[in-house]
Chain A
């Protein structure tokens, strides 16, 4: 139960961060085009 809760919490904070990182990486690739 505690592990599931931990996973859920990490997903809640991790998803927006992953979205932000993906967008930033997308922009960063422009540097090497």
Chain B
């Protein structure tokens, strides 16, 4: 058993190599090689995290490939042997599902090996996933597309998502919300880079024989691998007992902020874990369904007044608020407290969803856009604030692994949200409701989901001390 530090993390694991000989034995990707000196500038670490999150955020822009992938054989128009949009749509669903699964499965491994090795593996999986998918596109084998982008790429998404977050929490014990907000903002912003980049590359590689998708996948795989490896090389972990200069942990901490640590195997058996799971699931469900249907929704609710190009602009605006909300709300949560921040998400969300049908009937496009911009900012804020909430409840020791397991709520919401929005809309239209009014019931159902989230958040109390990790015992 290694020597330990006050926060329960062994110095043998977190200390730098002690001699040149020791350094030679410790590999470049080893956790100990990433240990920073005490005077290291901690603001050098967020760009490393952002490099990974900006890359994996590409997943949100996968839909730019939908049409080109559906006309691979037919050229301008789809041939009978081309893949259908439903078949292609499964690629994204598999990737998001594997994201949640791999974050849950590999969370402990990520904590053990440290961020550099984890980010390196994420780069290999995500970049390699693009290459395997490119092979599937070139040979027109759907299974290879699923295996490459969906499974391999999904593992890169899951590992890459959680690896930098717990590192940042340890560097910013005074502002954990702001720190995780910075990284997770990158995941929201990644699509804004990937969408125009994909279109540019496909236009560049287009030829009379090919629409350039396979070459675009190869190029993007290499680019993202390089950018993520840049993050892996730059990332550093703080020494085990490191604290920011002049900062001392508050003597009278807030009621829901623990100074103790809970191991992941115990954490997921506590009611707090499942309440937080419910909080994330409900918050994401309410936002994700709207995000996927934003373009047809605004066109149908304001029939004839919003063109497809303007609707695309609306989707872009929502992405901006989704990204900005991640940094804004997570940073605010450092002052408001995590529980209060989620109360704002749920209460304000309920009010906004409940008034959207009236705004639609009144024909106010500006009011509609403003309401959804705010809703999507809180959707992003929910993602970015949850790691800091977990840190408050369970401490920093296994926060990455616990975060990984909580992300299964995302996989669940990824199915629940779009299903609710799509099926409720279709059910209404089938029963003779006009398209402009078909979303009203959906909005009220979203209010109900947010109410469940509000109740889960209300029920959260501090973790029972019997679950706390004994001080001085090895973190592993």
Interface residues of chain A, those whose CB is within 8 Å of chain B, are 2-3, 5-6, 9-10, 12-13, 16-17, 19-21, 23-25, 27-33
Contact = CB atoms under 8 A, between A and B. Distances in A.
Nearest to B47: A9
Given A6-B43, A20-B192, A27-B313, 4 more contacts: A24-B316, A25-B316, A31-B306, A31-B317
30 contacts: A2-B44, A5-B41, A5-B44, A6-B47, A9-B44, A9-B234, A10-B47, A12-B47, A13-B50, A13-B51, A13-B54, A13-B186, A17-B50, A19-B196, A20-B189, A20-B195, A21-B320, A23-B195, A24-B192, A24-B317, A24-B320, A28-B313, A28-B320, A29-B313, A30-B309, A30-B310, A30-B312, A31-B313, A31-B314, A31-B317
Interface in B41-89: 41, 43-44, 47-48, 50-51, 54
Contacts of B320: 21, 24-25, 28
B54 A28 contact: no
Nearest to B308: A30
A4 to B, nearest CB: 11
Nearest to B42: A6
B47 A13 contact: yes
Contacts of A23: 192, 195-196
Contacts of A25: 316, 320
Contacts of B189: 17, 20-21
A28 B316 contact: yes
Contacts of A20: 189, 191-196
Contacts of B309: 30
Contacts of B456: none
Interface string B221-261: 00000000010001000000000000000000000000000
A5 B316 CA distance: 32
A33 B54 contact: no
Contacts, number: 76
Contacts of B48: 9
Given A21-B189, A27-B312, A29-B313, A6 B44 contact: yes
A32 B317 CA distance: 11
Nearest to B231: A13
Contacts of A3: 41
Interface residues of B, number: 32
A21 B327 CA distance: 15
A2 B36 CA distance: 13
Contacts of B385: none
Contacts of A28: 313-314, 316-317, 320
Interface in B169-197: 186, 189, 191-196
Nearest to A22: B192
Contacts of B354: none
B440 interface: no
Interface in B323-337: 323
Contacts of B192: 17, 20-21, 23-24
Nearest to B191: A20
B319 interface: yes
> Of residues A9, A24, A33, which shows the largest number of chain B Cβ atoms within 10 Å of its Cβ?
A24
Interface string B414-455: 000000000000000000000000000000000000000000
B218 interface: no
A30 B313 contact: yes
A31 to B, nearest CB: 4
A27 B44 contact: no
Nearest to B43: A6
Contacts of B47: 6, 9-10, 12-13
A17 B316 contact: no
